[in-house]
Amino acid sequence: MAHADSHADDHHDAKPSGIGRWLFATNHKDIGTMYLVFALLMFFLGGLMALLIRLELFKPGLQWFDPQFYNSLVTTHALVMIFGAVMPAFVGLANWMIPMQIGAPDMALPRMNNYSFWILPFAFTLLLSSFATAGGGPGGGWTLYPPLSLQAGTSFPLTIFAIHLMGASSIMGAINVIVTIMNMRAPGMTLLRMPLFVWTWLITAYLLIAVMPVLAGAVTMLLTDHFFGTTFFTAAGGGDPVMFQHIFWFFGHPEVYILILPAFGVVSEIIPTFARKPLFGYDAMVYATASIAFLSFIVWAHHMFTVGMPLAGQMFFMLSTMLIAVPTGVKVFNWTTTMWRGSLSFEPPMLFALSFLFLFTIGGFSGLMLAIAPADFQYQDTYFVVAHFHYVLVPGAVFAIMAGVYYWLPKWTGHMYDMALAKWHFWLSTVSVNVLFFPQHFLGLAGMPRRIPDYSTQFTDWNMVSSVGGFAFGFSQLLFVWVIVKCVRGGEHASDRVWGDAQPHGLEWTLPSPAPYHSFETAPEVK
Amino acid sequence: MLNSKVASALGGLLAAVPAFAYESSYNMPVGVTPISREVHGLHMLIFWVCVAIAVVVFSAMIYSIWKFRKSKGAVPDQTLTHSTQVEVVWTVIPVLILISMAIPAAKTLVKMEDTRNSELTVKVVGYQWKWQYDYLGKGVAFYSTLSAASNQARQLNSGVDVNQVKDYLLDVDHPLVVPVDTKVRLLLTGNDVIHSWWVPDFAVKKDAIPGFINEAWFKVEKIGRYTGQCAELCGRDHGFMPIVVEVLSKDDFAKWLAAQQEAAKAAAAPAAATTAMTTPAATPAAAL
């Protein structure tokens, strides 16, 4: 194939060296790497905040932090993990893999790609600098509900501007993904032949473009309420604080799927490879993803059943939310059937994908319980909700990202990594993540509200268990860094197909390992 | 429908052993109102439905992982790639299960929203960080704040062993007092930011929002003391504005109310011209 001698063609677009290679990067792999490294840094920063939270909650009574600082930790932990860790990690995977999976040389809009990445460090510097201002960091929760969020001090404009920047970055990333997929597919790669990771990212990118401006509108209205005398959300001036929640969750619910759909894509790549069998029900998987994306726009108010909606509204949002279980179930059943009568081996990416399969499904079950409005009145704003969304986001989204990294890392670096160490990372993570989050279901059901720095003594035992799990999970992630660093530095040479007799499908495996700087200079033919 | 029969049988099974779940440190309380029992029943129903589905799905996964191991020499069946039939089956079955859960849920929801024929109305106002209870038309209103003992113990590095504090963080100076077997309606609003009034034993959680008046109701069937907390992040001391409801017999409640009215009048007499929170203010509300 034409790409085999692509190294020889590098001379006409030489790799810039030194810091310039990164500052002025336009190459999809370099930008992808920066996204992934940034996401990893933010994962540890957000993780540090989580450990401080678990430290304070280890036993009742306030031992370490003022309640307002605790609230700031809770707020920024969420913003850092959502906008700094999970989303950039998926954009990093998209940057690396989409051109390689569709047979393109690079992303369609390389300079915008650079811009959308380099906005992020500034956005997070703004957000985190608020901790150094009078009044401390933002403490109103990542959901920024007014009137509470309007009470913040200097952190308020910093947070709003940071969110604006993160949104702009996401929108540009999404535009790039759509333009690339729509225009740069290799001949013969029709839409219904695209790898599932490409499909899920295409749908995710449309979701991003649809809802990020909505968030921008919501936070801009907060800003003018705070500084310019408008009263969009202030009842005393004829405004409506509940309207903010409607607007926020119209963004917020699709956002949840923005965080999970690319994870579905990664898992849909990995399971067929290590089951040595094509993905079962490819078309159904695509339609299920699209259905989930559609439903995500009509379920938002299930986040706010307790605000006092009319009965008809509660009924509608309860029923539409329950419907999501159907396409999600289809996906789980298809993954399971992909393994059925396969030939399974358990390399680290497969282990993480299987862990995803089980634990994401548990998060799905608690999600179904939360959809039942009368029961939701008991679950809402308790640790049951915290347990639910951490199950879908940590062993869900984060495990899928780790699975993806372990799957493609040899293709990126040209080296195999330390499998034994990666398996240690897997087992420690899978066990500790359950010790961390499973007891939080019990805490919520027994009556512990979320976002409190201190609790009554009957909640002590499960909080201790959860904190122990939290520290075990946090420190286990150092192994992940170790495996990656070791692999980047060297290791056994990876073959082009990397996974031996598992024979992964997809154009990325037709490239040499490590993949050449410009992925496909001549478009491959897809038959 | 078979599904709903199985489901309600499972739910019934659990309802039959309420002692198992009551006062639990890992499950929702059954509670002390007709609604809270229904909600608990729904919760257990959907929980067991999820467990049943989990058993089937996880068994299939574990069986595949075990049976189709490459190390055992499993050979992949490359022809098993799609089947419209099974896709339809595993779309339709979940829909039927969901319908069987939606019906009882909708029925309960309708009951929860029916605030008619209440016998006592209390206005609940959330403040940063306390509650105010105003017995509309009765001329009794008061604030309810965290108890002094808890408040002292909860300060950063207070040096107090919180395990020795009675009802740590779940105790207030003036609890809400209501009569047993009486439909009590709450009118909720917030004074500054959004709060949320939650007592798990009543299965009532409703936001108290500035500029809005929300309604909720409960009818407690058992005399006792029930606790809850603010459930909506409301600032620095969000974790320190508990709710305590004292449920008395109807006679005891009447006595308590009379004593409160007596005290309110005595307190208001010297300052009647300037105080807004006394009987005149409550008169229009009596029409509610």
pLDDT at B280: 40
Give chain B positions within 8 Å (CB) of A461. Answer: 25
One domain, residues B180 and B278: yes
Other Cβ atoms less than 10 A from the Cβ of B84: the count is 10
Q: Which residue of chain B is at minimal alpha-carbon distance from A152? A: B235
* DSSP H or E segment with residue B52: helix B34-67
CA separation for the pair A81, B263 (Å, rounded): 54
Which bin fits A135, alpha (ψ -120 to 50), beta or left (φ > 0)? left
pLDDT surpassing 90 at residue B258: yes
B24 token code pair: 């639990």
DSSP 8-state class, residue B20 = H
CA angle A80, A300, B27 (to 5 degrees): 80
CA separation for the pair B96, B103 (Å, rounded): 11
B92 touches chain A (CB under 8 A): no
Give chain A positions within 8 Å (CB) of B164. Answer: none
Other Cβ atoms less than 10 A from the Cβ of A246: the count is 16
In sequence order, what are the residues at sequence separation of 6 or more whose Cβ sits closer than 8 angstroms to the Cβ of residue B89? none
pLDDT at B22: 41
Query: B17 vs A313, which has greater pLDDT?
Result: A313
Are the Cβ atoms of A60 and B239 closer than 8 angstroms? no
CA separation for the pair B190, B228 (Å, rounded): 17
Longest Cα–Cα distance in chain B: 93
Are the Cβ atoms of B60 and A336 closer than 8 angstroms? yes
Q: What is the span of the domain harbouring residue B134?
A: 120-287
User: Over the Cα atoms of chain A, what is R_g?
Assistant: 23
pLDDT at A97: 97
Q: Which parts of A393-492 fold into alpha helices (H)?
A: 399-413, 419-446, 460-489
What CATH number has the domain bearing residue B128?
2.60.40.420
Which of A504, A501, A345, A343 lies closest to A411 in space, CA to CA? Answer: A504
B56 touches chain A (CB under 8 A): no
Are the Cβ atoms of B68 and A340 closer than 8 angstroms? yes
- Give the 3-state secondary structure of residue B115: coil
Query: B18 vs B67, which has greater pLDDT?
Result: B67
Mean pLDDT rounded to a whole number for chain A: 95
pLDDT at A226: 96
Are the Cβ atoms of B112 and A377 closer than 8 angstroms? yes
Query: B25 vs B96, which has greater pLDDT?
Result: B96
A162 token code pair: 């940071």
Give chain B positions within 8 Å (CB) of A459. Answer: 25
One domain, residues B138 and B21: no
DSSP 8-state class, residue B146 = B
One domain, residues B145 and B161: yes
Residue at a domain's end among B112, B130, B149: B112
Give chain B positions within 8 Å (CB) of A137. Answer: none
The strand pairing partners of B134, in sequence order, are: B123, B141
Query: A374 vs A4, which has greater pLDDT?
Result: A374
pLDDT digits (tens, 9 = 90+) for B182-224: 999 999 999 999 999 999 999 999 999 999 999 999 999 999 9
Are the Cβ atoms of B229 and A452 closer than 8 angstroms? yes
Hey, what long-range contacts does B143-150 have (CB within 8 A, 24 or more apart)?
B143/B174, B144/B172, B144/B173, B144/B174, B144/B175, B144/B176, B144/B243, B144/B244, B145/B172, B145/B173, B145/B174, B145/B241, B146/B171, B146/B172, B146/B173, B146/B240, B146/B241, B146/B242, B147/B171, B147/B172, B147/B173, B148/B173, B150/B240
Are the Cβ atoms of A455 and B239 closer than 8 angstroms? yes
B182 Cα to chain A: minimum distance (Å): 21
Are the Cβ atoms of A280 and B65 closer than 8 angstroms? no
Are the Cβ atoms of A277 and B28 closer than 8 angstroms? no
pLDDT digits (tens, 9 = 90+) for B111-170: 999 999 999 999 999 999 999 999 999 999 999 999 999 999 999 989 999 999 999 999
Give chain B positions within 8 Å (CB) of A239. Answer: 211
Give chain A positions within 8 Å (CB) of B29. Answer: 446-447
pLDDT surpassing 50 at residue A2: no
Q: How far apart are the first and last CA of chain B?
A: 44
pLDDT at B72: 94
CA separation for the pair A374, A370 (Å, rounded): 9
How many structural domains does chain B have?
2
What CATH number has the domain bearing residue B31?
1.10.287.90
pLDDT surpassing 60 at residue A453: yes
pTM score, two decimals? 0.92
pLDDT at A13: 55
One domain, residues B107 and B126: no
pLDDT at A503: 87
List, by residue number, the catalytic residues of A: 77, 106, 142, 169-170, 253, 255, 257, 268, 302-303, 328, 331, 450
- Give the 3-state secondary structure of residue B244: strand
How would DSSP label each residue in B184-221? EEEEEEESSS-EEEEEGGGTEEEEE-TT--EEEEEE--
**Which amino acid is residue A36, in one-letter code?**
L
B112 touches chain A (CB under 8 A): yes
pLDDT at B267: 86
pLDDT digits (tens, 9 = 90+) for A235-280: 999 999 999 999 999 999 999 999 999 999 999 999 999 999 999 9
Q: Judge residue A111's burial from the number of C-beta atoms within 10 Å of its C-beta, 0-12 exposed, 13-18 middle, 19 or more buried.
A: exposed
Give chain B positions within 8 Å (CB) of A322. Answer: 98, 101-102
pLDDT surpassing 80 at residue A3: no
pLDDT at B287: 37
Are the Cβ atoms of A345 and B71 closer than 8 angstroms? yes
Residue at a domain's end among B96, B112, B128: B112
One domain, residues B108 and B124: no
Other Cβ atoms less than 10 A from the Cβ of A502: the count is 21
- A451-463: average pLDDT: 96
How would DSSP label each residue in A484-510? HHHHHH--SBPPSS-SGGG---SGGGG
Q: Enumerate residues 137 to 196 of chain B having a beta carbon within 8 A of any beta carbon in chain A.
A: 153-158, 160-163, 167-170, 192-194, 196
One domain, residues B233 and B273: yes
pLDDT digits (tens, 9 = 90+) for A305-336: 999 999 999 999 999 999 999 999 999 999 99
One domain, residues B78 and B200: no
- A491-507: average pLDDT: 93
Q: Judge residue A500's burial from the number of C-beta atoms within 10 Å of its C-beta, 0-12 exposed, 13-18 middle, 19 or more buried.
A: exposed
Complex ipTM value: 0.92
One domain, residues B72 and B24: yes
CA separation for the pair B119, B216 (Å, rounded): 13
CA A339 from chain centre, in angstroms, equals 25
One domain, residues B144 and B17: no
Q: Which residue of chain B is at minimal alpha-carbon distance from A136? A: B236
Query: B280 vs B89, which has greater pLDDT?
Result: B89
pLDDT digits (tens, 9 = 90+) for A45-99: 999 999 999 999 999 999 999 999 999 999 999 999 999 999 999 999 999 999 9
pLDDT at B271: 58
DSSP 8-state class, residue A16 = P
One domain, residues B148 and B218: yes
Q: Choose the weakest-confidence range: A10-24, A191-205, A448-462.
A: A10-24
Are the Cβ atoms of A380 and B205 closer than 8 angstroms? yes
One domain, residues B21 and B134: no
B125 touches chain A (CB under 8 A): no
pLDDT digits (tens, 9 = 90+) for A501-516: 898 999 999 999 999 9
pLDDT surpassing 70 at residue B21: no
pLDDT surpassing 90 at residue B19: no
pLDDT digits (tens, 9 = 90+) for B37-94: 999 999 999 999 999 999 999 999 999 999 999 999 999 999 999 999 999 999 999 9
Q: Which residue of chain B is at minimal alpha-carbon distance from A287? A: B87
The 3 state secondary structure assigned to B28-42 is CCCCCCHHHHHHHHH
CA separation for the pair A75, A32 (Å, rounded): 27
Give chain B positions within 8 Å (CB) of A339. Answer: 61, 64-65, 68
Residue at a domain's end among B112, B139, B174: B112
- Give whole-number Cα distances, A188 to A183, A196, A525, in Å: 13, 16, 6
Q: Which residue of chain B is at minimal alpha-carbon distance from A146? A: B193
B230 touches chain A (CB under 8 A): yes
pLDDT at A163: 97
Q: Compare CB distances from B163 to A68, A307, A457 and report the shortest one's residue.
A: A457
**A1 band by pLDDT with thresholds 50, 70 and 90:** very low
Backbone angles phi, psi at A122, to 5 degrees: -70, -40
Q: Which residue of chain A is at minimal alpha-carbon distance from B41? A: A375
A268 with A335: CB under 8 angstroms? yes
Q: Compare CB distances from A461 to B25, B47, B106 and report the shortest one's residue.
A: B25
- B92-104: average pLDDT: 96
CA separation for the pair B153, B57 (Å, rounded): 48
Are the Cβ atoms of B82 and A284 closer than 8 angstroms? yes
Which of A238, A259, A249 lies closest to A313 in space, CA to CA? Answer: A249
Q: Which parts of A184-281 fold into alpha helices (H)?
A: 196-227, 241-275
CA separation for the pair A340, A136 (Å, rounded): 54
Give chain B positions within 8 Å (CB) of A236. Answer: 210-211
Are the Cβ atoms of A236 and B75 closer than 8 angstroms? no
CA separation for the pair A457, A385 (Å, rounded): 21
One domain, residues B129 and B258: yes
Give the best residue of A226, A273, A292, A445 to mutate against chain B (max B CB count within 10 A). A445
Are the Cβ atoms of B90 and A455 closer than 8 angstroms? no
A244 with B211: CB under 8 angstroms? no
Q: Enumerate residues 246 to 285 of chain B having a beta carbon within 8 A of any beta carbon in chain A.
A: none
Which of B178, B176, B209 lies closest to B192 in space, CA to CA? Answer: B209
Report the helix count and the strand count for chain B, using DSSP H and E. 7, 10
